[in-house]
Structure 1
């Protein structure tokens, strides 16, 4: 009897853990598809451009800048994890899965590339998406989600900037 209870507990625990990991993985996939990851990747590049201008008189070798940019993947992982938390409070796992399906579609991909170039057919599919339950949720949650994302982004970028400045200071610049 104890073995059955142990096996059942182990199964339920692993199922819950897999479900949580799956939400995280799916949300990160969604961020890749909808352009969010690329947006933060570009923000990091812009930060380094700004820092190079600010430190232009310091004679910092390119090797140091490349070393600092080596932390880019970790910075992207951090912001995506923070964004998952914001999305988790607004969208269910099923919602995220449906968002992935939409953004994997030709219409979703065109929206990311250039929304102004949507064909009439794609505009119809976009309209149908926004009429769906998830589409309506996206529209209804947009203000609160935008506020949460802005707060997360601001804190993340401030921390990243400060961390990079401190690394430069530790290297004597």
Structure 2
């Protein structure tokens, strides 16, 4: 009997873990498709532009900036992982899958690229999406989601900035 309980518990734990991972992976994909990742990629570039201005008197060589900047993949994955929790409280896994489906479509891709260049048929498809259950959820959750995303973004950017300043300081560069 104990063996059956153990196996059942193990099965449920693995299944729950897989479902969480799957939600997480799908949400991460959604953030790549809907322009979120590109937005934070640009934010990293803007932060380094600001830091270069702040450290201009230090004459930090480009090689040091490249080393300190490192691979943007890690901070981008960090912010996307943080955003997953905000989305998890607003959208089901099925909602995320439907959002992915929309953003994988030509209309979704065009909307991310340049919304002003949507064709008439794409505008109809976009309108249909926003009248769907998930589209309505996106619109209805936008204020609470925006607040959560703003909080997460602020914390992430503050941590990234402090971490970068710390790296520069360890290399002997100080803010004036």
Which category describes the TM-score, using the shorter chain as reference length?
Answer: over 0.9
TM-score by length of 2: 0.94
CA distance in structure 2 between the partners assigned to 1:4 and 1:56 by the alignment: 66
Q: Give the CA RMSD over aligned residues.
A: 1.1
The residue aligned with 2:34 is: 34
Q: How many Å apart are 1:11 and its aligned residue?
A: 1.2
- Highest relative contact order (Cα 8 Å, sep 6+), 1 or 2? 2
CA distance in structure 2 between the partners assigned to 1:112 and 1:71 by the alignment: 24
> Unaligned regions of 5+ residues in structure 1, if any?
none
The residue aligned with 1:167 is: 167
Q: How many Å apart are 1:7 and its aligned residue?
A: 2.0
CA distance in structure 2 between the partners assigned to 1:59 and 1:128 by the alignment: 54
CA distance in structure 2 between the partners assigned to 1:136 and 1:5 by the alignment: 42
Q: How many Å apart are 1:81 and its aligned residue?
A: 1.0
CA distance in structure 1 between the partners assigned to 2:141 and 2:8 by the alignment: 38
> Unaligned regions of 5+ residues in structure 2, if any?
none
Q: How many Å apart are 1:4 and its aligned residue?
A: 2.6
Q: How many Å apart are 1:103 and its aligned residue?
A: 0.3
The residue aligned with 1:16 is: 16
CA distance in structure 2 between the partners assigned to 1:9 and 1:104 by the alignment: 37
Q: Which moved more, 1:70-79 or 1:113-122?
A: 70-79
SS in structure 1 at match of 2:165: helix
The residue aligned with 2:50 is: 50
The residue aligned with 2:147 is: 147
Q: How many Å apart are 1:71 and its aligned residue?
A: 4.8
1:40-99 CA deviation, whole Å, 9 max, x = no partner?
011001111111121122121212111111152221111111100111111111110100
Q: How many Å apart are 1:10 and its aligned residue?
A: 1.5
Q: When the two structures are aligned, how many residues end up with a matched partner?
A: 173
1:129-157 CA deviation, whole Å, 9 max, x = no partner?
11110000000001111111111111111
CA distance in structure 2 between the partners assigned to 1:88 and 1:148 by the alignment: 11
Kindly report structure 1 stretches of 4+ aligned residues shifted beyond 4 Å: none
Q: How many Å apart are 1:118 and its aligned residue?
A: 0.6
